[in-house]
Amino acid sequence: MAGEILVRALARGDHEAWRPLWDGYNAFYGRIGETALPDGITATLWDRLFDPAEPVHALVAERDGRLVGLVHYLFHRATTLEGPTCYLNDLFTSAEARGAGVGRALIEAVGERARTAGAARVYWHTHETNRTAMRLYDQVAEKSGFIVYRMDV
């Protein structure tokens, strides 16, 4: 891919270009067909991304006038830190943009926003089979050693 990567805040006018990236992220994690997210969840996320009362934020990567990546992140309190901590919730790049520095640029941009917000840490999860992404993650962060458990309620 040619052209410089521009990372910027998501804008309301980006919906048409953001949606295929969001759908691609969900498809990557198997949320398609009968297991696809209901449209209401996507609509709620979209609204939250522009609600100043919500802790969730979004950045997009643009190259040559096209959106080629997205990242959603949120700030929350932690019991072991005085300031907020930042959870990088979703990270996705279009297939043609992979390996071109888009994911790294998005992670670095979240890191900068976390520093500005007074956060001491950015953390995220990935699936154990996501080896391609883990090659990047191993370069920009360290594994915490924690295993994630979850319980649906």
Q: What confidence tens digit (pLDDT) does each residue in 108-144 have?
A: 999 999 999 999 999 999 999 999 999 999 999 999 9
pLDDT tier at 1 (50, 70, 90 boundaries)?
low
Q: Can you give the pLDDT at residue 74?
A: 97
The pLDDT, as a whole number, for residue 62 is 97
* pTM of the predicted model as reported, rounded to 2 decimal places: 0.93
pLDDT (average), residues 37-52? 95
Among 119, 107, 52, residue whose Cα is nearest residue 80: 119
Contact (CB, 8 A) for 7 and 102? no
Residue 63 has pLDDT above 70, yes or no: yes
pLDDT tens digits, 84-112: 999 999 999 999 999 899 999 999 999 99
CB count in 10 Å sphere of residue 69: 25
